């Protein structure tokens, strides 16, 4: 009975910890030029300024579409990463082609 109580306490503690853990940023976009924005929204995804770039959690759009939506808001990017994996030069160039001009 005592071991069951300890097991129940351990499960409750661990599940409580998981519930308060902050979600990791899924997307990171670094603009080529500094942005005065502190946050913006692409469709239903909220982006917030962090360390010279912008970060967001999950998003319903495909990463390529999301990147294009970001460059329309902040201009060309020097980096765009999804779940810690950075876009290669070709992917980034294709995304940056959608940046608004002027």
Say if 12 falls within a structural domain.
Answer: no
Q: How confident is the model at residue 2 (pLDDT cuts 50, 70, 90)?
A: low
Say if 60 falls within a structural domain.
Answer: yes
Give the pLDDT confidence score for residue 5 in this predicted structure: 42
**Cross-strand pairs, 11:** none
Say if 102 falls within a structural domain.
Answer: no
Mean pLDDT of the chain: 83
Judged against a pLDDT cut of 80, whether residue 7 lies above it is answered with no
Say if 13 falls within a structural domain.
Answer: no
Between 17 and 28, residue with greater pLDDT: 28
Between 22 and 67, residue with greater pLDDT: 67
**Cross-strand pairs, 93:** none
Say if 82 falls within a structural domain.
Answer: yes
Say if 41 falls within a structural domain.
Answer: yes
27-57: pLDDT as tens digits: 999 999 999 999 999 999 999 999 999 999 9
d(CA 17, CA 5): 18
Say if 62 falls within a structural domain.
Answer: yes
d(CA 43, CA 13): 37
The count of domains in the chain is: 1
* Residue 89 lies in domain: 23-96
- Mean pLDDT over 14-21 rounds to 40
Strands (E) in 4-86, as ranges, are: 27-31, 39-42, 45-50, 53-56, 77-82, 85-86
Say if 66 falls within a structural domain.
Answer: yes
Judged against a pLDDT cut of 70, whether residue 93 lies above it is answered with yes
């Amino acid at each position: 009975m005592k071991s069951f109580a300890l097991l129940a306490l351990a499960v409750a503690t661990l599940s409580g910890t998981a519930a308060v853990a902050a979600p990791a940023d899924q997307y990171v976009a670094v603009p080529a030029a500094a942005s005065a924005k502190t946050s913006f929204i692409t469709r239903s995804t909220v982006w917030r300024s962090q360390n010279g770039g912008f970060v967001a959690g999950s998003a319903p759009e495909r990463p390529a579409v999301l990147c294009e939506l970001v460059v329309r808001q902040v201009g060309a990017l020097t980096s765009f990463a999804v779940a810690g994996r950075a876009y290669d030069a070709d992917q980034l160039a294709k995304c940056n082609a959608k940046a608004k001009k002027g």
